[in-house]
Amino acid sequence: MHFLLRTAAAVHLLACASIAAAAPSLDDIQNAPHQDWLTVSGVSHHFQPDRRDWREFNPGAGFERAFTGTPWVATAGYFRNSYDRNTFYAGARWMPLQAGPFRFGAFGLVGTGYPSPVLVIPTVSAEFGRVGANLVALPNLPGYSGYLGMQFRFALD
């Protein structure tokens, strides 16, 4: 059990260190061309449904600003989470790997309504012209059910 907790903590620290090392400067962000997106939160599926009565319809809306030519996307918004609590969040998506319309990376967020206010979640994002989707996935962890979650994205400009 302690090995799993230490491993999970090490993975989170490594992800945070990678994100910090790859962070662009403030000048890079201010001068980068960007694309704005409306996000609509929607659904989740938990791998251990018997642990509690999970809410798997998660309505909400948010805003993303993708910085063209960088792996960075700023994000903020609201949704009703799987604990049936309000979640207000702000953070970034770091998506350094790309294969066709798919990008791979992680969300790093500060949010309300969860046992931990800091969330680092593996992410796959797909973009097809002016529409897209974000899929987050977290494996089962000690004391916590893993899940898949989906947001839909719509270009604003």
Burial of 123 (C-beta count, 10 Å sphere; 0-12/13-18/19+): buried
Handedness of CA 127, 128, 131, 136 (dihedral sign): negative
Identify the pLDDT of residue 3.
47
Record the pTM.
0.77
Q: Which structural domain, as residue segments, surrounds residue 34?
A: 2-155
List, for residues 21-60, the tens digit of each pLDDT value: 556 566 765 666 789 999 999 899 999 988 889 999 999 9
CB contact at 8 A, 136 and 155: no
CATH number at residue 13: 2.40.160
How many whole angstroms separate alpha carbon 67 and alpha carbon 36?
9
Total domain count, the chain? 1
Q: Smallest Cα–Cα separation from 134: which of 78, 86, 81, 93?
A: 93
List, for residues 134-152, the tens digit of each pLDDT value: 999 999 988 888 999 999 9
